[in-house]
Amino acid sequence: MNWVTYVTNFLWGLWAWACFALVCLFSLIVALLVPGRYRRQRLVTFAARMIFVLAGVKVTLHGIDNLPLDSCVVVANHASYVDGPLLNGYLPARFRFVIKGEMRDIPVVHFLLRRSGAKFVERKETVGSSRDARQLVKAAQEGESLGFFPEGTFLLERGVGRFRPGAFVAAIKSNMPVVPVAILGSRAMMPSGRHLPRLADLVIDILPAFAPGDDAYASSRKLAEACRQSIIAAVGEPDLLDRDTSDKKS
């Protein structure tokens, strides 16, 4: 990489962070002053999209017709810090995204996410995890559309890992369709361990939904694996569970 490319990437990365900071400030004002959860969600959705618009990132959205007009559960692969703001900005504002419970420990972030419609799930503490899981099922049964990153975290390594069951249990108990969403390009923009993003094109591919009522997806495990394989085929990355299986055999 020559110095011109390096400087260009560095300056763009700073500009992207400036866009993010500006949007966070706007969203915090919205969270503080705007009444009505859905009104706040719509404004925060607009703000999240503006991160990418202001930064000059090309975002392509495929398969919007696969998204049901009624309530549903969306599950997406998780490859980057970018994924949350990306889906928040480009999916309809009715979706409430499920965030790892550790975000409760950061007061300003917790306040902003909670006021903009996010839900939280504890991953480490058993009692808290069970409580949060019950609340997610209740929200789904009441007709709320939920968005999940069922891998729970992301790695520098390319590939799609194991899906946690929460999204699929909620979908089955509320009889909601599950819509897999494949995100492409975000790992190149800001993978694990990188602090300054690089400009990259992003793609959101909304895939055909799976119906929990179908006998082939009657259990949360079968439903999760069907969605996972659909996403793997769309992103063209390795199945990390195959790697784990190979490691155990060796």
User: Where residue 44 sits, what CATH number does that domain have?
Assistant: 3.40.1130
30-34 average pLDDT score: 91
pLDDT for position 1? 60
Q: What's at 22, amino acid-wise?
A: L
6, 12, 15, 16: CA torsion to nearest 10: -120
Whether residue 249 is contained in a domain is answered as: no
What type of residue sits at position 249?
K
Which stretches of the chain are assigned E, i.e. beta strand?
Answer: 59-62, 73-76, 96-100, 119-121, 146-148, 178-184, 202-206
Residue 89: closest CA among 59, 57, 48: 48
Give the integer Cα–Cα distance in Å for 169 and 146: 12
| Average pLDDT of every residue of the chain | 88
DSSP 123: S
In a domain, 250, yes or no: no
Answer whether residue 144 is part of any domain.
yes
Within-domain flag for 129: yes
Residue 99 in any domain: the answer is yes
247 within a domain of the structure (yes/no): no
Long-range CB contacts (within 8 A, 24+) of 1-9? 9/196, 9/198, 9/199
pLDDT of residue 243: 67
Would residue 168 count as lying in a domain? yes
* Average confidence (pLDDT) over 10-29: 95
Residue 229 lies in a domain: yes
Greater pLDDT, 4 or 214: 4
> Which 8-state DSSP code applies to residue 241?
H
Domains in the chain: how many in total? 1
| Phi then psi dihedrals of residue 125, to 5 deg | -105, 120
Sorted by sequence, the CB contacts under 8 Å of residue 199 that are 6+ apart come out as 9, 12, 16, 55, 56, 57, 189
Question: Sheet of 96-100: strands edge to edge?
Answer: 59-62, 202-206, 178-184, 73-76, 146-148, 96-100, 119-121
pLDDT band, residue 43 (cuts 50/70/90): very high
Per the confidence metrics, is the pTM higher than 0.85? Answer: yes
pLDDT the model gives residue 250: 46
Q: 14-18, 119-123, 169-173, 202-206 — which is least confidently predicted? A: 119-123
Range of the domain at 202: 3-242
| Tens digit of each residue's pLDDT (9 = 90 or more) over 191-250 | 888 889 999 999 999 999 998 877 777 788 999 999 999 999 999 999 999 865 555 454
* Averaged pLDDT, 91-104: 83
In the chain, the percentage of residues whose pLDDT exceeds 70 is 91
